Amino acid sequence: MTQINTPVSYKNKHPLADFVRIFARGKNASRSMTFDEAKFTMGELVAGRFEPEQLGAILMLLRVKEETAEELAGFAAAINDQWPAAAEGAMAYDLVWPSYAGKRRQPFWCLLSALLLEQMGYRILFHGSTAHTEGRVYLHEVFEQLNLPTLNTLEQINHGPSLAYLPCAEINPVFQRWLSLKAILGVRSPINTLLKTIAPSGVASVQGIFHPGYAITHAGAAAINGNDMLVIKGEGGEFEVNPERACRARYHLNGQSGELVITNQQSHFADKPEGIESSLLTRLWQGQLTSDYALQAVIHTAALALVTIRKQPEQLEALIAECHAAWQARDKTRLDNNRE
C-alpha cells in the first residue's frame, strides 16, 4: 500500500471527507451508504488514498451503525477487483473458503471436509489471516503443521494446487494490517466481516459467522453482486457445522436465495474431543480416532460446501450420503507427511 505522507491541506477538502460525513452527521442526519458510495470508499481505502483518521472513523462508525447488505456488497465489489483475472487454461478453483475467526474449542474439522472434497475431485482455495487473537489457533498454522501448501503470491491462484491456503496479505497487504487494528481500537472492525465475503469472479464461497443475524446481510450482499454463496453460524465463527446444534444455512445460488436446516441429532456427544491440536485431525483422517461428533462435523460441513459448489440446495440429504460414502473410501495416507 502507498501511504500518503504529505501534510493535510485544510484549503482543499479530502475526497473521502464527504463519505466519512455520511456516517458521522449525528443520530438523525447520518445514513447508510449506497452501493456506489461504498464501492468508491473501499476502492480509495485499498488504494491507500486516505488519512489514518479517516480509516479509523469509517471502520468504527460502521461498526456502531452495522453494515447494510448494500454497503457490504459495495465494499466486496471493490476488493474483488484485487483478484487477478483467470489465465486461459489456468486451474480454476471450485470453491473459496475464508477463514478469519480461528479456533479455541475444537480443531479445524472443516479442513478435513475440504480434504474430502479434494479427494472427490474439487479444488478448494482457503484464504485468511495470520494469528491476531490470543488463545486461538489459525488455519495458516494448521496448514504449516500438516505440511499443506500455502501460496506465496496472489498470482499463484491461476496455477496452484487443488487444495491451498492464501494469506489475505497477498490479496492486499493492508488487509492483515486492518485486521490487527483490534489491538489499537479495542474491538473487531467490519473488515473481519467483509473479508469473509470476497471471492474471485465466478467462484462460489462458503462463509462462517458468529452472529446469526449477519447471515441475512451476507446473503443480501451476494444477491446484489450476483455471487453464489452459503453462510452458517459456524463453530467458533468458522465455516464448520457444530453437530450439537441445529445448523441453519442461508444461501444465494443460481440467482435464488433460501435456507437449509441440518437438525442436531443429539445435544451432547460423549466422544467430543478436547483440545485444538492438529494431531486430532490426522488421527481422525487416518482412522486412529473414533468420534461421532468430529465425523458429523466433517461430513455435514463437506455436504454444505458441496451444495454450494454444485448449486443444489434441494439435494442436501443426497449430498450428505455422498460425502459419507466418500469418507469411507478416502485415502488415509493423504496426511502421512504431516509434521506432528
CA angle 75, 78, 83 (to 5 degrees): 125
Q: Which region holds residue 186: left if phi is over 0, alpha if psi is between -120 and 50, else beta?
A: left
Indicate whether 54 and 108 sit together in one domain. Answer: no
Centre a 10 Å sphere on the Cβ of residue 49 and count the other Cβ atoms it contains: 15
Indicate whether 100 and 69 sit together in one domain. Answer: no
Instruction: Tell me whether residue 121 is in a domain.
Output: yes
Write down which residue in 80, 104, 122 finishes a domain: 80
Indicate whether 216 and 293 sit together in one domain. Answer: yes
Instruction: Tell me whether residue 12 is in a domain.
Output: no
Taking the whole predicted model, whether its pTM rises above 0.85 is answered as yes
Indicate whether 189 and 224 sit together in one domain. Answer: yes
> Pairing relation of β-strands 95-99 and 124-128?
parallel
CB 197 within 8 A of CB 221: yes
Instruction: Tell me whether residue 194 is in a domain.
Output: yes
Indicate whether 264 and 296 sit together in one domain. Answer: yes
CB 162 within 8 A of CB 118: yes
Indicate whether 50 and 186 sit together in one domain. Answer: no
Q: Model confidence over 251-293: pLDDT tens digits?
A: 999 999 999 999 976 788 989 998 999 999 999 999 999 999 9
Domain region containing 76: 17-80
Indicate whether 66 and 99 sit together in one domain. Answer: no
* Torsion angle, alpha carbons of 330, 242, 210, 92, to 10: 20
Indicate whether 71 and 117 sit together in one domain. Answer: no
Q: Model confidence over 77-136: pLDDT tens digits?
A: 999 998 988 777 777 899 999 999 999 999 999 999 999 999 999 999 999 998 767 788
Instruction: Tell me whether residue 51 is in a domain.
Output: yes
Indicate whether 76 and 135 sit together in one domain. Answer: no
Instruction: Tell me whether residue 1 is in a domain.
Output: no
- pLDDT of amino acid 186: 84
Instruction: Tell me whether residue 288 is in a domain.
Output: yes
Task: Classify 72 as helix, strand or coil.
Answer: helix
Instruction: Tell me whether residue 85 is in a domain.
Output: no
Instruction: Tell me whether residue 200 is in a domain.
Output: yes
Indicate whether 119 and 54 sit together in one domain. Answer: no
CATH number at residue 62: 1.20.970.10
Indicate whether 315 and 213 sit together in one domain. Answer: yes
6 pLDDT exceeds 70?
A: no
User: How many whole angstroms from its chain centre is CA 25?
Assistant: 32
Domain tally, the chain: 2
Q: Rounded mean pLDDT of the chain?
A: 92
Write down which residue in 29, 45, 80 finishes a domain: 80
CB 24 within 8 A of CB 57: yes
> Pairing relation of β-strands 247-253 and 256-262?
antiparallel
Q: Model confidence over 191-207: pLDDT tens digits?
A: 999 999 999 999 999 99
Indicate whether 57 and 102 sit together in one domain. Answer: no
- pLDDT of amino acid 267: 81
Q: Model confidence over 30-71: pLDDT tens digits?
A: 899 999 999 999 999 999 999 999 999 999 999 999 999 999
CATH number at residue 199: 3.40.1030.10
